[in-house]
């Protein structure tokens, strides 16, 4: 009996901890970083991580002060972790710059109370296009991570923590249709598109970048449409312009269309389920657009 | 003799080698010459900046020259003036400069003080490839250009469908295996052209060379890739490919496969000096095995202006130019300083050596590359530390010997971990080699064991 009660209590605490998808995302992204460090020999000095995390937190904190809004560290933390995972640079200054630019974009580039760009995506693309000393390594995750990633991601879908799993899965669906279609047209063996779908960078992008509830369209139909758009643009950049980071570039290119999609297919705006507080009490996000996420 | 060709594994990305593709590969030498290391491998230098590529393909083909033939898919049409016959010494030099290296350090007499000195060595080599002849239009094959450069007769083909191309190749003496049809079809749809070369025996005899020289091709295309699929068709097992990428900005990595770094910096038992090729081969295999048996490994990444330690001098300005580095500033032909440690020279060339081990299954897709802004230097470097073997007459000697023995344990552990060799076997090899054995420690007064208590209560 006692054991049962204890388990329930634990389950309750866990449920509360993961009630907000951001907590789940933070734990998964951190695990991926550790995996990268210890299993994949990712060259990631701690001061880069610290610099980037510090930059996003400080920027968010300062901006929240200015617009007088309660500060929540989770969204900037997610942005920082995503940047750390995908942006490669030898310069800590650029890591910090990426963090500042990512968060600043949330406050500066807005349309009807919603920010346009996924912050980490914005920082990532801007930095890698502007500075030679910062780049994206689409191959760094190889293929072997697939299972781990899928497990984590599907775990999120199943438990309903990744609120925007529809956009992730439709992106992968559209992208798969395109690469398999290409293979059939070329007469290539299916091993090739399977290999292409196993790209760790693609999966991280699908589950942890494009799935940001705040920058995807509000309606489900809009999100599926958006995923199709990003997949098509990304595929074109990758296979017609031969840029391996195609899908990441596609998101920044398609993001400005989200307001139009929202206009055409309106739906309720997403709110994070919990407000950050030091007490354990869960509060539903107050009014419109109170909390702004990273991912 | 009519050309009778077979696709073979010989040329990693080019292909269509003849039946007997005897590859010579001389390995990494530590002091002695001669061991074959990676015996079925290809060597390619890739100079890349913006959309411009200059590719130099080594040619160590040693079979019957009438059977030599090579077909390489290329992203764009190529004209006569874009093809150049290069000097084989260039790739050899590039290979030697970037090869994994052994460094030796010698302990000083613990009873007398300090100086340090290092030495090292290495080298490598590789490969083979192959060629073709004509008919045309009715098969949907267009001979875009046809010319002789050096000892090679070269054709540039474009095709509208793979059957026609297959027939064309077949009529010209190539036995192209079945699977090639699909792959050629895929390349045709991707708008690739086919660069076909065979040996012009008359021209070859004029050169007076026994060997075939490397072919260099310059072209402009956003595609930064190496076609490896044709080469895997008839491959017998794994293939090794060495890519030496020269860029202005920094390291080159693969975008559709993970580029990993080869383990480096470990201290190894000194007997490895005479077994470096064996060691390196086992270590590479073990590293690859940990990743499923195949992979892309970075063995060297360095600013071409210098090296430390140098396995060979950096390439000179002239050599770089010959390899196709087109962005060298117009300077007054300053010769590179020679010597064991070259100080930084503004060459503005960064070299990355990638060692790819692959087969058709683990590498279904052609290799795609990307230049990054990463200018971090990296090298596969292994350290031998020789213990002081002379007579030692002082108190410190015992401590020194204990420390050295401990170090040797660590070295054996490291070696076993890197190569998957058995530790007991390593110890017996050390015993057999007679170098780098542990010290037998004799303590004063003949009793065994450490004497740390003497430090407490004094030696009475």
> Considering A114, A136, A158, which residue would you say is the last residue of a domain?
A136
CA–CA dist B69, B173 (Å, integer):
10
The domain in which residue B450 lies consists of 388-457
Q: Under an 8 Å CB criterion, which residues of A touch B?
A: 40-41, 43, 88-90, 131-135, 137-144, 185-189, 191-192, 194-196, 199, 241-242, 244
C-alpha B201, offset from chain centre: 30
Identify the closest residue of chain B to A88 by CA–CA distance.
B374
Nearest to B256 among A139, A189, A191 (CB): A139
- Separation in Å, CA A22 to CA A77, A270, B291: 9, 13, 32
Residues A15 and A101 occupy one common structural domain: yes
Residues B143 and B196 occupy one common structural domain: yes
Contact predicate B233/B183, CB 8 Å: yes
CA–CA dist A225, A171 (Å, integer):
9
Total count of domains within chain A: 2
Mean pLDDT in consecutive groups of 10 residues from the start of chain A, 295 residues: 43 62 82 82 83 94 90 90 89 93 92 88 93 86 67 65 78 96 95 89 87 88 95 96 93 94 85 57 36 36
CA dihedral B358, B361, B365, B370 (to 10 degrees): -40
Residues B442 and B360 occupy one common structural domain: no
Residues A7 and A125 occupy one common structural domain: yes
Q: Where are the beta strands (DSSP E) in B304-453?
A: 350-358, 367-371, 378-379, 381-386
Residues B211 and B70 occupy one common structural domain: yes
Is residue A81 in some structural domain?
A: yes
Residues B33 and B80 occupy one common structural domain: yes
Contacts of B260 in chain A (CB under 8 A): 40-41
Residues B59 and B103 occupy one common structural domain: yes
Residues B263 and B207 occupy one common structural domain: yes
Using the Cα atoms of residue B233, residue B236, residue B237 and residue B243 in order, give the sign of their dihedral. negative
Residues B215 and B151 occupy one common structural domain: yes
Contacts of B159 in chain A (CB under 8 A): none
Nearest to A195 among B189, B261, B365 (CB): B365
Residues B223 and B357 occupy one common structural domain: yes
Using the Cα atoms of residue B204, residue B207, residue B211 and residue B214 in order, give the sign of their dihedral. negative
What's the confidence (pLDDT) of residue B215?
92
What's the confidence (pLDDT) of residue A221?
93
What's the confidence (pLDDT) of residue B7?
29
> Considering A103, A136, A169, which residue would you say is the last residue of a domain?
A136
Neighbour-count burial of B453, counting CB atoms closer than 10 A to its CB (0-12 exposed, 13-18 middle, 19+ buried):
exposed
Asked whether the beta carbons of residue A41 and residue B261 sit closer than 8 angstroms, the reply is: yes
Contacts of B253 in chain A (CB under 8 A): 137, 139-140
Residues A259 and A157 occupy one common structural domain: yes
The length of chain B is 460
> Considering B359, B382, B405, which residue would you say is the last residue of a domain?
B382
What's the confidence (pLDDT) of residue A70?
87
Residues B146 and B128 occupy one common structural domain: yes
Q: Is B365 on the interface with A (CB under 8 A)?
A: yes
Contact predicate A241/A251, CB 8 Å: no
Nearest to A135 among B189, B256, B372 (CB): B372
Asked whether the beta carbons of residue B292 and residue A144 sit closer than 8 angstroms, the reply is: yes
Residue A106 exposure: Cα atoms within 13 Å on the Cβ side: 31
The DSSP annotation for B35-49 comes to: ---S-SEEEEEEEEE
> Considering A109, A136, A163, which residue would you say is the last residue of a domain?
A136
What's the confidence (pLDDT) of residue A157?
67
For chain B, 460 residues long, give each residue's pLDDT as a single digit of tens: 333 333 232 333 333 332 222 222 222 222 222 223 565 678 899 999 999 999 999 866 667 777 777 888 999 999 999 999 999 889 989 998 998 888 888 888 878 654 333 333 333 222 222 333 345 677 889 888 899 999 898 989 999 988 888 888 878 766 677 778 889 999 999 999 998 888 888 888 888 887 888 999 999 999 999 998 887 776 667 888 999 999 999 999 999 999 999 999 899 998 988 888 889 999 999 999 988 888 999 999 999 988 878 888 889 889 999 999 999 876 554 554 544 444 445 578 999 999 999 988 889 999 999 999 889 999 988 888 888 888 888 888 888 889 999 999 999 999 999 999 999 999 999 999 888 888 887 765 555 556 667 667 765 5
- Chain B (308-347) residues lying within 8 Å, Cβ to Cβ, of chain A: none
Pure H helices in A39-91: 46-66, 74-86
Contacts of A199 in chain B (CB under 8 A): 256
Contact predicate B52/B216, CB 8 Å: no
Is residue A271 in some structural domain?
A: no
Asked whether the beta carbons of residue A144 and residue B223 sit closer than 8 angstroms, the reply is: no
Asked whether the beta carbons of residue A132 and residue B292 sit closer than 8 angstroms, the reply is: no
SS3 content of chain B, % helix, strand, coil (to 5): 25, 25, 45
Asked whether the beta carbons of residue A192 and residue B364 sit closer than 8 angstroms, the reply is: yes
Retrieve residue B241's tokens: 């490919």
Residues B340 and B435 occupy one common structural domain: no
CA–CA dist A255, A253 (Å, integer):
6
In Å, how far is B87's CA from the nearest CA of chain A?
A: 32
Residues B63 and B154 occupy one common structural domain: yes
CA–CA dist A189, B361 (Å, integer):
11
Retrieve residue B101's tokens: 């290296």
Using the Cα atoms of residue B336, residue B338, residue B340 and residue B343 in order, give the sign of their dihedral. negative
The domain in which residue A127 lies consists of 2-136
Residues A11 and A91 occupy one common structural domain: yes
- Chain B (26-65) residues lying within 8 Å, Cβ to Cβ, of chain A: none
> Considering B382, B399, B434, which residue would you say is the last residue of a domain?
B382
Residues A117 and A239 occupy one common structural domain: no
Nearest to B370 among A40, A143, A244 (CB): A244
> Considering B382, B411, B428, which residue would you say is the last residue of a domain?
B382
Is residue A50 in some structural domain?
A: yes
Is residue A279 in some structural domain?
A: no
Retrieve residue B440's tokens: 């037998």
Q: Is B444 on the interface with A (CB under 8 A)?
A: no
In Å, how far is A185's CA from the nearest CA of chain B?
A: 8
Q: Which residues contact B77 (CB under 8 A, 6 or more apart)?
A: B144, B145, B156, B158, B193
Q: Which residues contact B274 (CB under 8 A, 6 or more apart)?
A: B30, B31, B32, B433
Is residue A292 in some structural domain?
A: no
Identify the closest residue of chain B to A241 by CA–CA distance.
B222
Contacts of A40 in chain B (CB under 8 A): 258, 260
- Chain B (232-261) residues lying within 8 Å, Cβ to Cβ, of chain A: 249-250, 253-261
Residues A90 and A198 occupy one common structural domain: no
Asked whether the beta carbons of residue A241 and residue B222 sit closer than 8 angstroms, the reply is: yes
Total count of domains within chain B: 2
| Number of helices and strands in chain B (H, E) | 10, 22
Asked whether the beta carbons of residue B256 and residue A244 sit closer than 8 angstroms, the reply is: yes
Contact predicate B136/B168, CB 8 Å: yes
**Does residue B309 have a cis bond before it (omega within 30 degrees)?**
yes
Strand partners, B300: B353, B379
In Å, how far is B379's CA from the nearest CA of chain A?
A: 15
Residues B37 and B104 occupy one common structural domain: yes
User: Choosing among B258, B260, B358, which should be mutated to test the A contact, i.e. which has the most A CBs within 10 A?
Assistant: B258
């Amino acid at each position: 009996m006692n054991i049962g009660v204890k388990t329930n209590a634990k389950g309750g605490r866990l449920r509360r901890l993961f009630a907000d998808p951001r907590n789940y995302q933070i734990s998964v992204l951190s695990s991926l970083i550790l995996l990268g460090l210890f299993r994949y020999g990712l060259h990631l000095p701690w001061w880069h991580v610290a610099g980037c995390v510090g930059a996003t937190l400080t920027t968010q904190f300062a901006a929240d002060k200015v617009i007088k809004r309660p500060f929540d560290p989770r969204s900037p933390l997610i942005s920082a972790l995503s940047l750390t995972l995908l942006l490669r640079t030898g310069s800590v200054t650029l890591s910090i710059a990426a963090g500042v630019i990512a968060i600043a974009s949330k406050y500066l580039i807005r349309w009807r109370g919603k920010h346009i760009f996924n912050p980490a995506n914005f920082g990532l693309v801007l930095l890698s296009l502007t500075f030679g000393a910062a780049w994206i390594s689409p191959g760094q995750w190889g293929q072997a991570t697939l299972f781990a990633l899928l497990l984590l991601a599907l775990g999120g879908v199943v438990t309903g923590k990744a609120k925007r799993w529809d956009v992730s899965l439709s992106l992968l669906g559209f992208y798969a249709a395109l690469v398999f279609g290409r293979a059939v047209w070329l007469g290539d063996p299916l091993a090739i598109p399977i290999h292409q779908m196993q790209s760790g960078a693609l999966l991280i992008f699908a589950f942890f970048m494009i799935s940001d509830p705040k920058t995807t369209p509000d309606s489900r139909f809009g999100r599926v449409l958006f995923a199709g758009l990003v997949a098509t643009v990304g595929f074109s950049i990758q296979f017609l312009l031969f840029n391996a980071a195609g899908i990441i570039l596609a998101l920044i290119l398609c993001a400005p269309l989200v307001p139009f999609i929202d206009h055409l297919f309106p739906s309720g705006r997403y709110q994070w389920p919990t407000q950050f507080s030091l007490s354990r009490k869960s509060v539903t996000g107050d009014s419109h657009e109170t909390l702004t996420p990273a991912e | 003799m009519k050309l009778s060709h077979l696709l073979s594994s010989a040329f990693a990305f080019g292909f269509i080698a003849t039946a007997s593709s005897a590859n010579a590969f001389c390995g990494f030498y530590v002091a002695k010459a001669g061991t074959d290391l990676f015996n079925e491998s290809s060597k390619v230098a890739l100079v890349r900046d913006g959309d411009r590529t200059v590719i130099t393909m080594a040619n160590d083909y040693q079979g019957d020259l009438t059977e030599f033939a090579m077909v390489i898919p290329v992203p764009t049409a190529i004209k006569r003036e874009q093809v150049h016959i290069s000097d084989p010494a260039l790739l050899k030099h590039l290979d030697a400069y970037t090869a994994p290296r052994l460094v030796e350090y010698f302990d000083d007499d613990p009873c007398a003080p300090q100086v340090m000195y290092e030495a090292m060595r290495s080298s490598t080599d590789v490969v083979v490839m192959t060629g073709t002849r004509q008919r045309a239009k009715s098969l949907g094959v267009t001979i875009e250009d046809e010319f002789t450069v050096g000892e090679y007769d070269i054709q540039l083909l474009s095709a509208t469908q793979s059957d026609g191309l297959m027939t064309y190749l077949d009529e010209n003496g190539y036995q192209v295996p079945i699977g090639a049809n699909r792959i050629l079809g895929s390349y045709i749809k991707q708008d690739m052209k086919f660069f076909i070369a065979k040996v012009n025996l008359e021209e070859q005899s004029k050169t007076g060379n026994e060997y075939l020289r490397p072919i260099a091709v310059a072209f402009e295309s956003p595609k930064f890739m190496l076609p490896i699929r044709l080469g895997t068709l008839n491959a017998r097992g794994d293939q090794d490919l060495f890519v030496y990428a020269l860029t202005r900005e920094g390291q080159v990595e693969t975008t559709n496969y993970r580029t990993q770094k080869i383990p480096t910096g470990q201290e190894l038992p000194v007997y490895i000096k005479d077994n470096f090729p064996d060691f390196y081969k086992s270590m590479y295999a073990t590293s690859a095995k940990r990743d499923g048996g195949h992979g892309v490994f970075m063995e060297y990444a360095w600013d071409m202006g210098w090296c430390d330690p140098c396995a060979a001098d950096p390439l000179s300005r002239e050599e770089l130019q010959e390899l196709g580095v087109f962005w060298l500033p117009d300077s007054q032909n300053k010769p590179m300083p020679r010597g064991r440690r070259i100080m930084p020279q503004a060459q503005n060339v960064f070299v990355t050596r990638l060692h790819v081990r692959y087969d058709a299954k683990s590498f279904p897709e052609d290799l795609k590359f990307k230049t990054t802004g990463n200018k971090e230097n990296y090298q596969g470097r292994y350290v031998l530390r020789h213990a002081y073997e002379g007579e030692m007459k002082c108190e410190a000697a015992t401590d020194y010997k204990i420390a050295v023995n401990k170090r040797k344990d660590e070295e054996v552990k490291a070696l076993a971990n890197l190569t998957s060799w058995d530790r007991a076997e390593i110890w017996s090899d050390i015993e057999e080699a007679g170098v780098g054995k542990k010290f037998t420690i004799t303590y004063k007064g003949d009793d065994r064991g450490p004497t740390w208590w003497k430090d407490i209560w004094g030696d009475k």
